[in-house]
Amino acid sequence: MSAAEESPVIGVAELSALRARRRPVRLLDVRWRLDLPEGRPLYLGGHLPGAVYVDLEQELTRPGHPEEGRHPLPAFADLARAARRWGVRVGDLVVVYDDNDGVAAARAWWLLRRRGVEVRVLDGGLRAWIESGGPLEGGDLQPTPGDVVLRDEDPGAASIDEAAAAPREGALIDARSPLHYRGTAPTPDPRAGHIPGAVNIPTLAHVGPDGCLRGPAHVHRTLADAGVDPARPIVVSCSSGIAAAHTALALAHAGVPSRVFPGSWSRWSRTPGRPVAVGPSPWGEVYAR
């Protein structure tokens, strides 16, 4: 990331300073996790003052056919309507957060950033806010609809064919846990394993014990250890496109561009004719469907 570029994350102190200067900031609460996909009850119990709840399952994805994967991207028009419902206005800085190491918030960051919105992830999320002594408020905030206009293009997504070619053209990073990557953990998908040629860098490798993103130097060391050249094209995959956005966030924080394969393993494993690799190495034991 050059000196002229703004970090994709923002600390609690910087956020507080911006709000004190009355910088227009729209806070979005994106609480979601695999074992607790409905985060609204937690949001209602306490959230950052002025934050609007964002439903990842309903607003940051869309219902789709199984072969599209488990979390297909929302249609452009639906995302634009949702952003205005959240109260986002032209000129706003959007700050997204969650209570799960930024994984869900990164999905919102990635979707909005590639549509031209100035958006950053609160580093450390809800935990960092509370530990800093920040206040919480309860209830459901329904803001006045915003007037933001999203950019109708898709520069940040990689197709399934581009994901397949990525290991030879640069790198394909699989952001899942090692057990899922190797194909030894239970999975809701039809097959277990990874895309042949993908290297395994779990997205949580980029998160420190305080829940904040590790620094750029750490990210570059992690890439080097995995044999990934940051100067070559990088595509990121995961289970269904959520954690991959978090890895894209960590890479962006280190000044490394990447693209996300939205369907990820949940799409690859459902696509006839796509080979599967199992085991700890990128090419592993490859077999066809």
Number of Cβ atoms within 10 Å of the Cβ of 59: 21
**Token pair recorded at residue 204:** 């949580």
CA dist., res. 227 & res. 206, Å (int): 16
Catalytic residues: 238
- Give the closest residue to 180 by CA, choosing from 198, 157, 207, 162: 198
CA atoms within 13 A on the CB side of 178: 3
Which tokens in the block code for residue 80? 């634009």
Q: Helix 216-225 crosses helix 243-253 at what angle (to 10 degrees)? A: 110
C-beta separation of 208 from 145 below 8 A? no
DSSP letter for 178, please.
H
Tokens encoding 119: 């958006």
Give CA–CA dist 278/35, Å, rounded: 26
Encoded amino acid at 110, one letter:
W
Distance in angstroms (rounded) separating the CA atoms of residues 29 and 50: 10
